[in-house]
């Protein structure tokens, strides 16, 4: 993955989420070099603290929007 420590990873994810909250956790993880799970944890933390507005529709890796309630088969 990457040679960043946890603080640097957190800051990189936070900065990317601030600019592109609509992107999926997988997209951000691929760009930053961390796991999608790590991005999800940072996203939830920021949303709970009120530092990031929850986005109902996120952009998938293929560029299509995927909402929380969309059925995926």
5 CB contacts (<8 Å, ≥6 apart)? Answer: none
Check the CA dihedral 10-51-45-22 and report its sign: negative
| Residue 18: CA count within 13 A, CB half-sphere | 7
What distance in Å separates the CA atoms of residue 59 and residue 34, rounded to the nearest whole number? 18
| pLDDT tens per residue across span 22-62 | 999 999 999 999 999 999 999 999 999 999 988 876 555 55
pLDDT recorded at residue 53: 87
What distance in Å separates the CA atoms of residue 5 and residue 51, rounded to the nearest whole number? 22
Q: What is the pTM assigned to this prediction?
A: 0.74
| pLDDT tens per residue across span 2-21 | 688 999 999 999 999 999 99
């Amino acid at each position: 993955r990457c040679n960043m420590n946890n603080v640097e990873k957190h800051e990189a994810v936070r900065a990317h989420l601030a600019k592109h909250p609509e992107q999926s956790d997988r997209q951000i993880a691929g760009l930053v070099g961390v796991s999608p799970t790590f991005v999800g944890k940072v996203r939830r933390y920021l949303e709970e603290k009120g530092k990031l507005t929850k986005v109902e529709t996120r952009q998938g890796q293929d560029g299509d929007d995927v909402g929380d309630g969309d059925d995926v088969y």
